[in-house]
Structure 1
Amino acid sequence: MDRSIRTVDDVMKLLDGLFAPEADRWTTEGAAWWDGFYADRTRPVPFFAAKPDENLVSYGERGLLTPGRALDLGCGPGRNALHLAALGYEVDAVDLSPAALDWAAERARAAGADIRFHLGDAFTLARTVLAGPYDLIHDSGCFHHLPPHRRISYLDLVDRCLAPGGHLSLTAFAAGEGGMGSELADADFYRQAGLHGGLAYSAGSLRHVFAGLTEVEVRRMRDEPSDADLFGEPFLWTALFRRDAPAVEARRVR
C-alpha cells in the first residue's frame, strides 16, 4: 500500500509519472532522450544553427531590454546564450542534455564568450544553484513541452528568479491556423496520458497563465528563411512580459 504523498513535490512527481516516457522532456532523467536528439549535429533541425531568435534580437534593437543578468532556459546548443553574451549580458544557461551543453560550450569557447552552463532541470536548479535575480529569463521552446501541472513549477521559477523590473521572453507553439502542437483541453492530457508532441497556446491563454506579469508584446514569430541570420518560425508565438517593481508607499508627512 502506497501512501507516500505528503508535499506538493510528491504530487508533481506522481503526475509526471502519468506521462512517462514523455516526462523525459522536462525531468533530469531526460538526458538520454535529449542526448539522442542532439547526437547528430548535421541533422536539418532549424534551431541547431547558431543564430538567435528573431524576437529576442528585436527586443534589443527596439530598446525593450537592457543588458544585465540573463537566464537561458533549455539553452540547447547555446545559440541564444551566445547572442545575449555578445550583447553584454552575464549569462547562465540551463539544459538537461550533456550533449547539448558540450556543443554549447564549444561554441562559447570559439566565440570567446563567458557563459555559465548548468546541467539539470531548471525547476530543481532554481531552488539550489541558479544565482538570481535575473533581469531577463529567455525560453525558446521549453514551456510548450510541459504538462499542465508543471506550469505551477514554471511560475514558481519565474517568481524565484526574475528581478523586479525584469522580463520573461518566450516562444511557444501557437494554436489555430498555421500553428503547431496539441489543442486538447488540459484535463484531456491526463485522460490520455500523453502530450502529443507539445501543447499549443492561444494568445489569450498565454496572457492568462502569465497574468501576474505585465504584457509588453505577444505576436507570432516572423518567418525567417533558412539562409537568414536569425531563427524564426511562424508556428510559434513570441511573448515578452515584464515583472513590475512593487510600488513604494509614499512616506506620510507629519
Structure 2
Amino acid sequence: MSNARDQRLASTFVTLADTLVADFDVLDFLGVLTERTVELLEVDAAGVILSDQRGGWRPAAGSSEDAELVEVFAAQTQQGPCVDCVHTGEVVASADLVADTGRWPQFAPAAAQAGFRAACAVPMRLRDDVIGALTLLNTQATAIDDDSIALGQALADVATIGILQQRAVQHEQIVSEQLQATLHHRTVIEQAKGVLAESGGMDMHLAYLTLRAYARAHHRRLSDVARDVATTTLDAGELLGDPASTPRS
C-alpha cells in the first residue's frame, strides 16, 4: 500500500469517526462513505441501504446513479446481497450476478442491466444492532477480493459507530425521527438533482456533486439547499452560475 493511500485511508477513518458536530449531515456523511469506498477499495461502485426503523430498508447513498439504482432494485424486490446481509448480519457476496439469477430472480437481472456483474454486501453493524449495509459493486464478473471485503467491513464498522455515537446523544424517539427525516431529505435531494440536471444539461450524479459543492462552500446543510432548489426558493440558474458550485475532487 502506497504512502499516499495510507494517508488517504487514515484521513477517511478520521472523517467517518468525527460525527459529534452540531451540523452533522447523515446524507453527506454516507455520500463520503461510498465515494471513499470506491477510491480505496478499487471497486467500480458502492451503495448504502439503511433501516427505516419500521422493519423496512431504503436506499440512502451511492457513489453513482447506477449504484443508487441497484439499491432501489434491492429495496423494491426485497432481494439481493444487501437485503440478505441486513437480515443475517453477515457478509453476502456474488462473483457473478447473472449466474445467481436463481438466488435472486428479480434483483440479479436488474443489477446486471444496470451494468454490474459482481456484488458484495457488508453489514453496518454494532454488536447485534444492524442499521444497514454497504454494497461493493464491480462491472465485471470478478469476485471482490478478501482484502477489499475486510477493508470495506472496517469502513462500514467505523461509519456505523459514528452514526450510532451521534445518535446516542439524543433521546431514542429523536433518533427514530432523525432516520425518518434522513429518508425524507433523500427524496428532496432527488427532486433537486432533477431540477439541476434539467436546468444545467448534466447527468444526475454531476447534479448531486454540484449541489453538495454549493452547500459546502456556503456552509449550509445539503438537505436545506436541496429543499430550496426543489421549491424554487433558490433559483437553479443562480446556483449553477455560482463558481462555488463547481465540484472538486
TM-score range, shorter chain: under 0.3
Task: Find the structure with the greater CA-based Rg.
Answer: 1
Q: Going by fraction, where is strand more abundant, 1 or 2?
A: 1
* TM-score normalised per structure 2: 0.24
